[in-house]
């Protein structure tokens, strides 16, 4: 926690003390108080005890150590793509995805003075990417920092009159900054998908009040032979299982075999899903389930 700016540490420590009193209600998140992940935790579970952590690894470790009942991690954004490398983080952590949450992201440019001539804007790389057209049009230099709210805290304690931060408007209130411009994201559909991680897997039932389908997330490594991915995907097509996400990544330095992160609609126990996964395993060196959970937003339909 000592990596947070000094003017954020008091609040971080107080929130950690409160979370320690009821760790089952605590949700660990990456960032300083006021970060988007903080807002997402409160939106997802309004009665939770948010636990600030400096890094994604720290947030996951808090769950593993019993300091928090779950962690909320942003994994992808509609404007700027991947946020956290969940396909690296989650298998290493041993945790399970138990839910997902979508949150509309709104960015505010803030500085120590409302009349400041802004030359630099500090924020998380994702936030900078989501506001890149705004910054470029105004010749404002983007400066990467660990998270949005911590950037606001850093600017608040700095002596640079031309420095600004990009963070949720709440951060301006928390750290005593002045809002310069609000809703500066490049598109009004700026949405981030978060996943909620816990020590034990969930066992959600199909149906529910919204009748949204179940989702299953897994990673797999295909055999290094011609058409391995094509053959591995065939089982999902022939069994009518909808794959909503497929993303490749490399692990290690060999570049010899591709690994993939995937989301599908359905759950183990469904005959079609079981058949598709069995065919997948036949063509793979490894298949690892990361979690089954209820879909929070229908895929392919405007929310």
Measured distance CA(111)–CA(282) in Å, rounded: 56
What residues are paired with 72 via a beta bridge?
29, 196
C-beta of residue 35 within 8 angstroms of C-beta of residue 168: yes
Measured distance CA(99)–CA(108) in Å, rounded: 28
Please give the structure tokens belonging to residue 107: 């960015």
Please give the structure tokens belonging to residue 90: 């989650």
Measured distance CA(207)–CA(213) in Å, rounded: 7
Instruction: Name, in order, each residue with C-beta under 8 angstroms of 1's C-beta and a sequence gap of 6 or more.
Output: 9, 12, 13, 16, 52, 54
* Structural element, H or E, at residue 196: strand 191-198
Please give the structure tokens belonging to residue 125: 């790389």
Measured distance CA(148)–CA(204) in Å, rounded: 33
**DSSP label at 122?**
E
Catalytic-labelled residue, pool 148, 192, 216, 292: 192
244 is annotated as an active-site residue: no
192 is annotated as an active-site residue: yes
Chain centre to alpha carbon of residue 295: 16
Measured distance CA(286)–CA(65) in Å, rounded: 28
Catalytic-labelled residue, pool 29, 194, 236, 260: 194
What are the catalytic residues? Answer: 192, 194
């Amino acid at each position: 926690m000592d990596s947070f700016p000094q003017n954020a540490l008091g609040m971080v420590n107080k929130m950690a003390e409160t979370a320690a009193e009821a760790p089952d209600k605590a949700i660990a998140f990456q960032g300083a108080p006021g970060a988007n992940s903080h807002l997402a935790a409160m939106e997802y579970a309004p009665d939770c005890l948010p636990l600030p952590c400096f890094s994604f690894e720290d947030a996951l470790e808090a769950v593993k150590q019993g300091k928090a009942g779950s962690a909320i991690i942003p994994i992808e954004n509609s404007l700027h793509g991947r946020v956290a490398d969940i396909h690296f983080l989650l298998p290493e952590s041993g945790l399970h995805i138990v839910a997902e949450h979508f949150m509309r992201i709104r960015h505010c440019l803030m500085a120590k003075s409302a009349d400041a001539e802004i030359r630099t804007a500090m924020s998380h790389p994702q936030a900078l990417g989501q506001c890149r057209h705004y910054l470029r049009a105004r010749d404002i230099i983007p400066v990467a920092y660990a998270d949005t709210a911590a950037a606001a805290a850093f600017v608040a304690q700095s002596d640079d009159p031309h420095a600004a931060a990009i963070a949720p408007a709440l951060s301006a209130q928390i750290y005593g900054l002045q809002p310069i411009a609000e809703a500066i994201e490049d598109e009004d559909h700026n949405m981030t998908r978060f996943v909620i991680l816990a020590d034990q897997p969930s066992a959600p039932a199909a149906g529910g009040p919204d009748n949204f389908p179940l989702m299953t997330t897994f990673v797999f490594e295909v055999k290094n032979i011609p058409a391995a991915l094509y053959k591995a995907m065939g089982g999902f097509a022939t069994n009518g299982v909808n794959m909503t996400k497929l993303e490749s990544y490399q692990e290690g330095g060999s570049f010899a075999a591709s690994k993939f992160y995937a989301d599908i609609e359905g759950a183990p126990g469904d005959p079609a899903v079981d058949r598709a996964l069995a065919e997948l395993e036949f063509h793979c060196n490894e298949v690892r389930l990361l979690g089954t959970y209820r879909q929070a937003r229908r895929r392919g339909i405007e929310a």
